[in-house]
Amino acid sequence: MQVFTCPFCGPRDETEFHFAAEAGKERPQPAEETSDADWADYLYFNDAPRGPAREVWVHVTCGEFFLMTRDTVTRAVSEVAPLPGRGE
């Protein structure tokens, strides 16, 4: 069992967390001017980096989304932070 740290609740079991998306994706706007390819890229395509990764996770029990920086090979977490604008 790995322990992740929610920026709001502190350290909790990994089963309380869910991976949401890779961080840094920007929703293409406005929708009517967005090509199918750009929309598909936003919706489905990833970098799936090997090694350091910045990701958005959700702590399911408190419902907060947050940023997690971790290594996808060793699984070591180096940093957790609230999403921009959600900090204390």
Neighbours of 17 (CB within 10 A): 20
Regarding 31 and contact with other proteins (CB under 8 A), the answer is no
Regarding 64 and contact with other proteins (CB under 8 A), the answer is no
Encoded tokens for 37: 């390819």
Partnered with residue 79 across adjacent β-strands are: 69
Instruction: Choose, by CB under 8 A, the member of 11, 33, 48, 88 that binds other proteins.
Output: 48
DSSP state of 14: G
Residues that bind other proteins (CB under 8 A): 1-2, 13-15, 18-19, 36-37, 39-41, 43-48, 50-51, 53, 55, 72-75
